[in-house]
Amino acid sequence: MTGNIRPETMERITTPALAQAFIDEQVHELRSQIGDSRVLLALSGGVDSAVVAALLIKAVGQQLVCVHVNHGLLRKGEPEQVIEVFRQKMNANLIYVDAVDRFLDKLSGVADPEQKRKIIGAEFIRVFEEEARKLDGIAFLGQGTIYPDILESDGVKAHHNVGGLPEDLQFRLVEPLKLLFKDEVRVVGKALGLPDSMVYRQPFPGPGLGVRCLGAITRDRLECVRESDAILREEFSKNGLEGKVWQYFTVVPDFRSVGVKDGKRTFAYPVILRAVNTTDAMTATVEDVPFSLLQHITERITSEVEGVNRVLFDLTPKPCATIEWE
């Protein structure tokens, strides 16, 4: 696919047949573009990188090298799902990098949200660069750039783009989704056999749970965020809200409050629930979650998540709040 402007004549990919036609065309183009070279791809497990990976596996198989960096800020079960889907099911050449301690050490004591974002982005590039240096014959870098990225920014994925890769690692870009809108990427992902939980997953910020563990990240509060988020997602799924609510997650602030459990005083963290709907993320409304479900989630979180004694629900739309807390 050449050029960065979507031709007016390009048909919207809305059906499996149209997705298949797109896949066939891309496989052909990718093979002639890549030849015998190898392609490197940072595979986060998000929709865009997952679809690019699946497309490249179909086109060039083992010539694709995927790198999945676990920075410790992913949701419960995410690294495992990436390994299961790509290594086990799709037989991808996948390098898994456990960089949890490295990221958490770098973030230790850092409370400012923008500073946290910078550290996560820069460290991600560093880890990826180290892995790239270990490999031979890489000529291309796969990217999950989609059309809104081109329309809204300077054409590259902004999430991890802090500084970018050094000069000697400037590979040629492979961006097979760059003229597609998000809904089209999902249709293509489905046609490539990716699981629904990956194709239809809710938006998740690049800095991950790092901006939901408010202030300076500590391992105990990070686990509170991860475990409470898993409970919220499980309950939304069981109660038909998955796929209906645009984005939902939990936040853990860096203060504690007094509570009581089994007749004893506790001093533990609160968990804040957030569930919002939007079309463009510029404004958002709060989902009217049934009160009985909120009570059930509260009961589960306070009994199952260590170090939590209180649950709150964020009633604030955007504006005046943002969707994330940091």
**End-to-end Cα distance, the chain:** 37
Q: Are 4 and 150 in contact (CB under 8 A)?
A: yes
Q: Does 206 bind ligand XMP (CB under 6 A)?
A: yes
Number of residues lying near ligand XMP (CB under 6 A):
12
Helices and strands counted in the chain (H then E): 10, 10
Nearer to ligand XMP, 47 or 59 (CB): 47
Asked if 247 is part of the footprint of ligand XMP (rule: CB under 6 A), the reply reads yes
Report if residue 281 touches ligand XMP, rule: CB under 6 A. Answer: yes
Closest distance to ligand XMP from the beta carbon of 322 (Å): 3
From 32-40, 76-84, 173-181, 205-213, span contacting ligand XMP (CB under 6 A): 205-213
State in angstroms the smallest separation of the CB of 318 from ligand XMP: 5
Taking the least distance from each CB to ligand XMP, the nearer of 72 and 206 is: 206
- Does the footprint of ligand XMP cover residue 322 (CB under 6 A)? yes
Q: What is the DSSP string of 66-79?
A: EEEEE-S-SPTTHH
| Nearest alpha-carbon partner for 49 in 145, 192, 174 | 145
Alpha helices in 192-254 (DSSP H): 196-199, 219-238
- Does 324 contact ligand XMP by CB under 6 A? yes
Cβ contact 194:56 at 8 Å: no
Residue 283 as a binder of ligand XMP (CB under 6 A): the answer is no
Separation between Cα atoms, residue 65 and residue 56, nearest integer Å: 10
The residue among 124 and 140 lying less far from ligand XMP, judged by its C-beta, is 124
Is there a contact between 182 and 152 (Cβ–Cβ < 8 Å)? no
Query: Does the protein bind ligand XMP through residue 203 (CB under 6 A)?
Result: yes
List interacting residues with ligand XMP (CB under 6 A). Answer: 117, 159, 203, 205-207, 247, 281, 318, 322-324
